[in-house]
Amino acid sequence: MDRSLKVALVTGGARGIGAAIAARLARESWRVVVADVDARGGVSSGGRFAICDVSDESAVNALIASVTTQEGRLDALVCNAGVNERKPIGELSLAQWLRVIGTNLTSTFLLVRAGEQLLRASRGAVVTVASTRAHMSEAHTEAYAASKGGLVALTHALSISLSPEVRVNCISPGWIFTKGDAPRPGDHAFHPAGRVGTPEDIAALTAFLVSPDGSFITGSEFIVDGGVTRKMIYPE
């Protein structure tokens, strides 16, 4: 194993946005560790795959311990794993609320706490993946919106606490097509950029933020939504 290559840990990298981030970093010569609850992951990026529920404290500590012993360094941490639970608040159980908060928010606290020494030693970078839903809502998305709003705030708090060794930034995607029915022509046209986003759009910015080109950027949130949150909408 070439220990001079930089190491990136990507959570939720078995598919969707995380898989694209892992593949992009692997193409840019990073050694990639993908952590996911979905055992199919890791293949596309060619990196090591680790089963890990990022909301579980002991699982996260074991994951970072494995990076310490197997890769020996950690230069980039991409906190991407996330889940949604869309239910009227009257039907949302405490267990469902806590699962969303645990996976989308508490996981970043656990991962950064466990990885702090490795990240400081490498003068590394953290990228969190929040959502435009940190700033705007549909009905029945309380747990998801709260988790992503918390993640935006956790990102800037960490950027101060971990400075100057570690940079911490957040990407808030809008609609990124990863699964389900393909977007219709009207869906693309609704976006000021003329199209729905792709996982590669998020991967490209992640790669930039963890690279030396991003070395003056920390504590920032980048909204990558094709312009939708800047679009004024009036009633028909």
Shortest reach from residue 161's CB to ligand NDP, in Å? 22
Assess contact for 122 and 16: CB atoms under 8 A.
no
Binding characters for ligand NDP, 98-117, by CB under 6 A (x = yes): -----x--------------
Q: Which of 11, 45, 169, 218 contacts ligand NDP by CB under 6 A?
A: 11
Helix axes 107-122, 57-70, angle to 10 degrees: 20
Q: Does 214 help bind ligand NDP (rule: CB under 6 A)?
A: no
The answer to whether 218 touches 162, Cβ cutoff 8 Å, is no
The smaller minimum CB distance to ligand NDP, of residues 3 and 230, is found at 230
Dihedral (Cα; 73, 207, 156, 57), 10-degree rounding: -50
Number of residues located near ligand NDP, criterion CB under 6 A: 26
Calpha distance 128→43 (Å, rounded): 22
Asked whether position 187 contacts ligand NDP by CB under 6 A, the answer is no
| Touching ligand NDP, residues 149-178 (CB under 6 A) | 173, 175-176, 178
Residue 135 Cα distances to 42, 151, 232, angstroms: 32, 12, 15
14 touches ligand NDP (CB under 6 A): yes
Distance CA 5, CA 32 (A): 10
Binding mask 46-75 for ligand NDP (x = CB under 6 A): ------xxxx--------------------
Does residue 164 have a cis peptide bond before it, meaning omega lies within 30 degrees of 0?
yes
CB of 2 to ligand NDP, least distance (A): 27
- Which of 10, 22, 26, 37 is in the footprint of ligand NDP by CB under 6 A? 37
Which one, 159 or 172, has the nearer CB to ligand NDP?
172
Q: Which two tokens stand for residue 82?
A: 């996330």
Distance separating alpha carbons of residues 127 and 167, to the nearest angstrom? 8
As a whole number of angstroms, the distance between CA 220 and CA 9 comes to: 20
Of 131 and 155, CB closest to ligand NDP: 131
Q: Rule CB under 6 A: which residues touch ligand NDP?
A: 11-12, 14-18, 36-38, 52-55, 80-83, 103, 129, 131, 173, 175-176, 178-179
